[in-house]
Amino acid sequence: VATLVADPSPYGAVVVTGAGSSFSAGGDLYWLRKRHEEAPNKNAQIMREFYNRFLCVRQIPLPVVAAINGPAIGAGLCFAMACDVRVAAKTAKLGFTFVGLGIHPGMGATHFVANAAGAETAARLLLTGDIISGAEAKDLGIVSQVAEDGPAAVEAAMAVAARMAAQAPIAVRATVLSLRRRQDDGLDRALQREADAQATCYNSS
């Protein structure tokens, strides 16, 4: 990420996907359980640092396309939501499963999901922890395009990125910045609220 931020000129767009047949299974459960050992104020700080480690993808001054080639769960799906465009395999399993683990959603979930799919869909997905397919995610507005399977999703994401990269680079980068500025309005407040709420959950569950 640091290399792309420092000098994006050799590139026109970025595609991120998972290794193997999964996009991301989410956070490290052992690491999450260790949060019970910390005080809430310390946990809030730890969670903000954790969020920033992944949300730095939004600092890349290029379009970032997520190719959801397989399961994307919890923080893994939140990472995808931080990307500019999402393409998913029809059969990929997607879910914001935080509440089932006894913790508040994090990594901007309450912000990005509502922005992409509306408040009611965000409430349903975040409060139930429902696992949905890539096809349903497309219907709900969580992703913009679906493909038959994981490899096809990567191929489709690469095609979208290639079309972006074929456009005038300065105009593309400026448009990315304009779109993100609008999307990021209120993001910092949401991240702090999520970090504080997760810290409270860790010490009460």
**Burial of 134: CB neighbours in 10 Å, binned 0-12, 13-18, 19+:** buried
DSSP output for 69-104 = -S-EETHHHHHHHTSSEEEEETT-EEE--TGGGTS-
Q: Cα 144 to the chain's mean position, in Å? A: 14
Query: Which backbone phi and psi does 149 adopt, to 5 degrees?
Result: -150, -175
pTM of the model: 0.92
Contact (Cβ atoms closer than 8 angstroms) between residue 106 and residue 51: yes
How crowded is residue 37: how many other Cβ atoms within 10 Å of its Cβ?
10
Convert the pLDDT of each residue in 48-94 to its tens digit: 998 998 999 999 999 999 999 999 999 999 999 999 999 999 999 99
Integer-rounded Cα Rg, in Å, for the chain is 17
Q: Percentage of the chain surpassing pLDDT 70? A: 95
**Residue 147 β-bridge partners:** 89
- pLDDT, tens only, 146-180: 999 999 999 999 999 999 999 999 999 999 999 99
